[in-house]
């Protein structure tokens, strides 16, 4: 009998780099294009901004996701698990401005640092496929994408009200405005009318809504997208203006209330206020009001102050033929519906408050059958996506402005339009690229050969990240964004894991771009991410959100140094349900560290020994449970079953190696370095990840229950089942506790109890 005890002095700092190198050198996890033997599995984690340091939150996204990828790999899938960096954008530029560095240098240094940090947790990323969105080889295709949208009429330039951050001196998308403030610098955002590039995402509103039904995403994320798209169906009704050829079109969801209209309201930006100047009696008051509301932010306007003024115009109710006054008030927004409403104080709370505040009649509450009034209309809250940024650190928009021909797209064979180096990154009302060298800025028009100037705006980084998952399938292609057959082989993404904060930003844009690409005939699917899961949030040891100001931030580098990556990985997965997160606990992490040491201390018997039935059943049960849990990303309960199995193994004098092997295989996706180390200590030469994931032996699980009959004085009185291997005293206890038996034995004296293992219990009474 050969017995092994790995009485190892557990030094993760030594074994972890060793196995990371082993996996990389042997290319164990390398994904294989067109592998015919294995089914593909595209496993994607949201790539990050190169912000500088990885914090525990990143780890919480990456480490459990990597466990899932390893699990899929062991199940025999050809796993694609890539990583890259969303390298353009405001954070890099702001940091570069603050640290007086070139954003390119700053970004590169951060990426190098983050890559090293990422490697330390031992993920299976295929680094050969790394994608950097600031690489000209990548953004050449981002520019190409822009041109495709431009040619389809889905990218257009127009003057429109935009969210303007006075501090960042740039336009912000609605999604970047958090409660009226700039997402980055928290300055209050103001409205400014400026020329911008937009993508016509509204043309896809209906499909973006409908197709949510065919993807496996968290329900709350779907709800958020539905609300963001905000489909509303109602009617468009025309009100003629008295003594005028003009009319007001209104959008209402309640045409049945039309008899109760007591006034109309125009948004301050409504064109009628310009067209009908001569008819507006209260010109001065109206002008003052318009001037005033311009100063308000969108948020202030939504904080309903019931302000408004009458224009002096009157409109005619098409049903009652009554004349109602037309007001201007900024609670009506130009960006929704038609920018004008019929006000019905009897049915609408806001209209009622306004009427009361401004001495307008409350009107009738009578309802009618509205069929035939106006025309059906569907409205969306979704706005077109403003994609231009007046900033430097982004993809140059591939457009030129010609003195003769106006807007001209850069020919595709001239891409990429590379981002030139400049000296001053601070936006000063004009985009920083306006100070680019003349050689870059001024060119000949491709159409007429005349003088032309390049577009100096750059693209929103959400354009960069809207298609990156396609690039991973063929990251070095210089003929196409990715080879069509490779995209077809790998895509769509089978599981996408990342933070819930991207609910309406990145996730909606990626869906939109995917649909556009499908319509352009470039790809064959129209939803990018079949299954989506969000990780929860890690709280500090004080159960508060981790933040530098609270001083409760955990530095992952330090704890990896102290406990090793395996412990940190496992602890992150153990601390709570993955989609909920939980508080960081110093004692919890020490507990996991001890658990791994105990795994190594198990005494393994390599001789052929018969295995305790109870243990065999438990192992099969654990396999079934861990497999099922992993599939659902229920890492914490999977680890709990491994712990309980270990408790049982420890009670054995020695553990047969076939059992121990199964344990290590199950441990491998969670604590890959440790599992690999112990696997090799068993004498194995191949990576543990080359063994396939065990399937639970169902026959062993079925056998597990044993049927007992219970007799009293030899007569059958009841039946019950117990797990196989249950000890005699427990079986008898359960027989006595049986409902029928308990009644029959009440106040009787049992003189003898006969136990036939796995068969019967017989109580002999007087």
Q: Return residues touching ligand ANZ (CB under 6 A).
A: 232, 251-254, 257, 332-333, 336-337, 339, 341-342, 344, 347-348, 379
What does 5 bind: ligand ANZ, Zn ion, none (CB cut-off 5 to 8 Å by kind)? none
Q: Quote the radius of gyration of the chain (alpha carbons, Å).
A: 34
* Cβ neighbours of residue 608 closer than 8 Å, sequence gap 6 or more: none
What does 450 bind: ligand ANZ, Zn ion, none (CB cut-off 5 to 8 Å by kind)? Zn ion
Nearer to ligand ANZ, 253 or 356 (CB): 253
Is residue 620 within 8 Å of residue 696, measured between CB atoms?
yes
| 409-422 exposure pattern, b = at least 16 Cβ within 10 A, e = fewer | bbeeeebbbebeee
Q: How many CB atoms lie within 10 A of CB 529?
A: 24
Nearer to ligand ANZ, 257 or 657 (CB): 257
What does 402 bind: ligand ANZ, Zn ion, none (CB cut-off 5 to 8 Å by kind)? Zn ion
CB of 295 to ligand ANZ, least distance (A): 19
Could you give the dihedral angle defined by the CA atoms of residues 103, 109, 110 and 112, in that order, rounded to the nearest 10 degrees? 140
What does 156 bind: ligand ANZ, Zn ion, none (CB cut-off 5 to 8 Å by kind)? none
What does 404 bind: ligand ANZ, Zn ion, none (CB cut-off 5 to 8 Å by kind)? Zn ion
Nearer to ligand ANZ, 347 or 488 (CB): 347
CB of 151 to Zn ion, least distance (A): 17
Nearer to Zn ion, 402 or 639 (CB): 402
Q: Which helix (H) or strand (E) holds 250?
A: strand 247-252
What does 332 bind: Zn ion, ligand ANZ, none (CB cut-off 5 to 8 Å by kind)? ligand ANZ
Q: How many CB atoms lie within 10 A of CB 388?
A: 26
Binding mask 348-387 for Zn ion (x = CB under 5 A): ----------------------------------------
Torsional class of 355: left (φ above 0), alpha (ψ -120 to 50), beta (otherwise): alpha
Binding mask 296-315 for Zn ion (x = CB under 5 A): --------------------
* Cβ neighbours of residue 273 closer than 8 Å, sequence gap 6 or more: 266, 280, 286, 290, 311, 328
Nearer to ligand ANZ, 333 or 696 (CB): 333
Nearer to Zn ion, 437 or 450 (CB): 450
What does 445 bind: Zn ion, ligand ANZ, none (CB cut-off 5 to 8 Å by kind)? Zn ion
CB of 486 to ligand ANZ, least distance (A): 43
CB of 336 to ligand ANZ, least distance (A): 4
Q: For residues 392-421, which are near Zn ion according to CB under 5 A?
A: 402, 404-405
Closest CA to 722 of 757, 682, 679: 757
Residues facing residue 656 across a β-bridge: 605
Closest CA to 650 of 694, 615, 702, 675: 615
72 SS3 class: helix
What does 447 bind: ligand ANZ, Zn ion, none (CB cut-off 5 to 8 Å by kind)? Zn ion
Pairing assessment for the beta strands 340-343 and 263-266 based on DSSP bridges = antiparallel
CB of 147 to Zn ion, least distance (A): 17
Nearer to ligand ANZ, 369 or 729 (CB): 369
Closest CA to 705 of 739, 684, 683, 734: 734
CA–centroid distance for 215 within its chain: 14
What does 379 bind: Zn ion, ligand ANZ, none (CB cut-off 5 to 8 Å by kind)? ligand ANZ
Rounded Cα–Cα distance for residues 748 and 746 (Å)? 5
Closest CA to 471 of 145, 199, 151: 145
Binding mask 418-457 for Zn ion (x = CB under 5 A): ---------------------------x-xx-x-------
CB of 405 to Zn ion, least distance (A): 3
Nearer to ligand ANZ, 248 or 286 (CB): 248
CB of 373 to Zn ion, least distance (A): 50
756 SS3 class: strand
Nearer to ligand ANZ, 108 or 347 (CB): 347
Nearer to ligand ANZ, 333 or 373 (CB): 333
Burial of 91 (0-12, 13-18, 19+ CB in 10 A): buried
Closest CA to 667 of 624, 637, 638: 638
What does 207 bind: Zn ion, ligand ANZ, none (CB cut-off 5 to 8 Å by kind)? none
Closest CA to 163 of 338, 381, 386: 386
Nearer to ligand ANZ, 257 or 466 (CB): 257
Is residue 50 within 8 Å of residue 111, measured between CB atoms?
yes
Which residues contact Zn ion (rule: CB under 5 A)?
402, 404-405, 445, 447-448, 450
């Amino acid at each position: 009998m050969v017995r092994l005890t790995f009485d190892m002095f557990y030094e993760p700092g030594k074994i972890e780099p060793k196995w990371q190198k082993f996996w990389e050198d042997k290319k164990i996890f390398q994904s294989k294009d067109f592998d015919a033997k294995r089914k593909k599995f595209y496993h994607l984690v949201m790539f990050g901004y190169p912000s500088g340091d990885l914090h525990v939150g990143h780890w919480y996204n990456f480490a459990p996701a990597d466990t899932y990828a390893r699990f899929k790999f062991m199940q025999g899938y050809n796993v694609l698990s890539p990583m890259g960096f969303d390298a353009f954008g405001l954070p890099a530029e702001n940091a570069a401005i603050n640290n007086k560095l070139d954003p390119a240098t700053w970004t590169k240094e951060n990426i190098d640092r983050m890559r090293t940090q990422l490697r330390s947790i031992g993920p299976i990323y295929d680094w050969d496929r790394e994608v950097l969105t600031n690489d000209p080889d990548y953004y050449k295709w981002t520019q190409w994408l822009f041109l495709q949208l431009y040619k389809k009429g889905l990218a257009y330039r127009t003057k429109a009200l935009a969210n303007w951050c006075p501090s960042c001196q740039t336009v912000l998308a609605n999604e970047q405005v958090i409660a009226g403030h700039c997402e980055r610098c928290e300055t209050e955002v103001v409205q400014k009318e400026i020329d911008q590039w937009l993508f016509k995402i509204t043309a896809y509103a209906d499909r973006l809504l409908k197709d949510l039904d065919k993807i496996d995403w968290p329900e709350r994320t779907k709800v958020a997208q539905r609300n963001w798209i905000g489909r509303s169906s109602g009617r468009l009704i025309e009100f003629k203006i008295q003594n005028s050829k003009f009319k007001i079109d209104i959008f209402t969801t309640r045409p049945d209330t039309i008899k109760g209209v007591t006034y109309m309201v125009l948004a301050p930006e409504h064109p009628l206020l310009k067209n009908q100047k001569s008819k507006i009696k209260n010109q001065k008051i109206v002008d003052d009001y318009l001037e005033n509301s311009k100063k308000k932010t969108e948020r202030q306007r939504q904080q309903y102050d019931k302000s408004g003024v009458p224009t002096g115009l009157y409109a005619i109710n098409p049903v009652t033929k009554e004349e109602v006054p037309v007001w201007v008030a900024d609670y009506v927004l130009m960006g929704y519906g038609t920018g004008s409403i019929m006000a019905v104080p009897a049915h609408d709370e806001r209209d009622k408050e306004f009427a009361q505040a401004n001495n307008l009649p409350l009107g009738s509450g009578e309802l009618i059958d509205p069929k035939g009034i106006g025309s059906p209309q569907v409205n969306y809250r979704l706005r077109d996506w403003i994609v231009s940024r007046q900033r430097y650190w982004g993809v140059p928009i591939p457009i030129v402005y010609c003195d003769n021909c106006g807007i001209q797209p850069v020919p595709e064979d001239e891409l990429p339009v590379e981002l030139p180096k400049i000296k001053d990154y601070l936006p000063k009302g004009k985009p920083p690229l306006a100070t680019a060298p003349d050689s870059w800025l001024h060119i000949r028009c491709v159409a007429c050969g005349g003088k032309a100037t390049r577009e100096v705006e750059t693209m929103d980084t959400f354009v960069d990240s809207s298609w990156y998952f396609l690039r991973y399938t063929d990251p070095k292609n210089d003929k196409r964004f990715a080879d069509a057959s490779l995209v077809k082989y790998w895509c769509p993404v089978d599981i996408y894991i990342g933070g819930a904060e991207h609910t309406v930003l990145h996730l909606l844009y990626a869906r939109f771009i995917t649909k556009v690409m499908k319509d352009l005939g470039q790809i064959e699917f129209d939803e990018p991410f079949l299954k989506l899961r969000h990780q929860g949030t890690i709280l500090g040891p004080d159960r508060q959100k981790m933040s530098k100001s609270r001083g409760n931030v955990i530095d992952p580098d330090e704890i990896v140094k102290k406990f090793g990556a395996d412990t940190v990985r496992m602890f992150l997965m153990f601390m709570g349900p993955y989609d909920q997160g939980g508080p960081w606990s110093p004692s919890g992490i020490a507990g996991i560290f001890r658990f791994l040491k105990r795994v190594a201390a198990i005494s393994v018997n390599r001789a052929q020994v018969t295995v305790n039935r109870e243990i065999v059943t438990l192992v099969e049960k654990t396999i079934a449970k861990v497999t099922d849990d992993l599939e659902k990303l229920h890492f914490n309960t999977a680890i709990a079953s491994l712990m309980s199995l270990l408790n049982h193994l420890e009670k054995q004098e020695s553990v047969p190696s076939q059992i121990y092997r199964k344990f290590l295989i199950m441990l491998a996706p969670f604590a890959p370095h440790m599992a690999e180390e112990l696997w090799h200590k068993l004498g194995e030469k191949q990576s543990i990840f080359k063994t396939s994931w065990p399937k639970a032996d169902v026959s062993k699980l079925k056998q597990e229950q044993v049927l007992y009959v219970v007799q009293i004085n030899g007569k059958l009185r009841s039946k019950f089942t117990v797990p196989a291997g249950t000890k005699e005293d427990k079986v008898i206890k359960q027989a006595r506790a049986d409902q029928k038996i308990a009644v029959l034995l009440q106040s009787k004296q049992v003189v003898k109890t006969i136990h036939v293992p796995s068969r019967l219990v017989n109580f002999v009474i007087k």
